[in-house]
Structure 1
Amino acid sequence: MSNKNLFFKSGFVRAPLQNGVGRYVCQLQRIVFKFCKSSGGSRGLRDYIEQDLVQFAEQNPSVVVYLKPRRHRSPVAVAEYLNGSRVWMNFNQKTHSEILKWIENLRTQQDDVAATRLRKYQYTDHPSIQGPWTPFTFKDPELNVAELPNVKFGANNRLPKTATEELRLLFEKQKLEDVKTAE
């Protein structure tokens, strides 16, 4: 281990809200664009705001976007994530296309993982080369394409009858009794 890790914050890398298990949840919660209306260094960010910001906001309704004009300051974007972390990015003298790429990077990353010394929850002297166990490790791959609910894959036939099914059975029994009495 090198000494450069001593200056990084220490933390675990985990998927917040079990991201990716059920559905994808965008981790970017809020982004604040701070820029100068007249400075030449803010030109690229102003172009991004004029041309692409509305489209970004429409495509990402879960992300709150703030614009904060400031006089004689360099342009900055502050991204806040669901786990509470903040990432500051300086956009001074950046072009419109560079800013597009950096905004996409901020949107898709979890937080500033690059500046984190990674730790593990468990430690072993003999690590497995097969990877960690998950609940889906030994499941039948046929489940991926099966039409569910399916009796073959579960005990669905032992479930209690619904009220609708009970009423349907009573109605059919009553119909049979009426047919027998009519004969």
Structure 2
Amino acid sequence: MSNSNLFLKSGFVRAPLQNGVGRYVCQLQRIVLKFCKSHGGSRGLRDYIEQNLVDFAKENPGIVVYLKPRRHRSAVVVGEYLNGERVWMSLHNKTHSEITKWIEVLRTQHGDVSSVRLRKFQHTEYPSVQGPWTPFTFKDSELNVANLPDAKFGVNNRLPISATEQLRIMFEKQKLSEKDEQDMKTAE
């Protein structure tokens, strides 16, 4: 661990308020686009505003979009999230496509994660008392003493034919019937 992580608050990456369990709630609450009407560094943001901003606002009705023209200043975007975090990003001399990608990044994240030192890569509010799940958790215990390969434990013996397999069989039958019809026509 580097020294820069010693003074960061520690935490977990998790969905805020169980987000996505019932329905997804976009965490971006407000986005402020600050730009200059004449400065060359704001050209990409002005192009984005002219071409994509109306579509972005229609697709994301839960996000409030503010435009703030400023004289002789560099282009900036500020994203404010439901957890109170604010993310500030300079868009100076960025192209229209780069700005589109960065605004999509702001829309899909849930605040400034870089200011938190991660203790673990996963976290749960209700850890299992039975231990972690493994691929062998719900297997038959007879499998432990069986001599394999055994037809009793074959996958195809227990599963019905899949829909894909049924379509393939139907297609083969259709091809054969069409071929038979063509052979009959050529024989006549």
Under TM normalisation by the shorter chain, which class is it? 0.5 to 0.7
Unaligned runs of 5+ in 2: 125-130, 139-188
SS in 2 for 1:88: strand
Q: Is the 1:13–1:119 Cα contact (8 Å) retained in structure 2?
A: no
> 1:33-79 CA distances to partner (integer Å, 9 max, x unpaired)?
01101000000000000000000000000000000001111110000
Please, what TM-score do these two structures have when normalized by structure 2? 0.62
Give, in angstroms, the shift of residue 3 of structure 1. 1.4
Read off the aligned partner of 2:60 and give its amino acid letter. Answer: N
Corresponding residue for residue 116 of structure 2: 116
**How far apart, CA to CA, are the structure 1 residues paired with 2:42 and 2:32?**
14
Question: Distance between the aligned counterparts of 1:6 and 1:72, measured in 2?
Answer: 39
After superposition, the Cα gap between the structure-2 partners of 1:33 and 1:22, relative to the gap in structure 1 and judged at 3 Å, is same
**In structure 1, what residue type is equivalent to 2:70?**
R
Note the 1:16-55 alignment, pairs <5 A. Answer: 16-55=16-55
In the TM superposition, residue 12 of structure 1 has moved relative to its aligned partner by 3.4
Give every structure 1 segment of 4 or more consecutive aligned residues whose post-TM-superposition deviation is greater than 3 Å. 7-12, 119-122, 128-131
Distance of aligned partners of 1:74 and 1:118 in 2 relative to their CA distance in 1, 3 Å threshold: same
* Residues in 1 aligned to 2:8 and 2:76: alpha-carbon distance in whole angstroms: 22
C-alpha distance in 2, partners of 1:99/1:2? 32
CA-to-partner distance for each residue in 1:2-38, whole Å, 9 max, x for gaps?
2121354433323112111011110000000011010
Normalized against structure 1, the TM-score is what? 0.64
Post-superposition shift, 1:129? 5.4
C-alpha separation in 1, matches of 2:7 and 2:91: 25
Q: Distance in 1 between matches of 2:65 and 2:57?
A: 7
| Structure 1 counterpart of 2:151 | none
Task: Look up the equivalent residue of 2:54 and give its one-letter code.
Answer: V
Q: Distance in 2 between matches of 1:8 and 1:73?
A: 32
Unaligned runs of 5+ residues in structure 1 are 123-127, 132-137, 139-183
Give the structure 1 partner of residue 94 of structure 2. 94
Contact kept? 1:33, 1:77, Cα under 8 Å: yes
User: In structure 1, what is the Cα distance between the partners aligned to 2:103 and 2:69?
Assistant: 18
Residue-pair matches, total: 127
Matched, 1:72 2:87: no
In 2, distance between residues paired with 1:129 and 1:95?
47
Counterpart of 1:14?
A: 14
- Indicate the SS of the match to 1:83: coil
In 2 relative to 1, CA 72–8 (structure 1 residues): closer, same or farther, beyond 3 Å?
Answer: farther
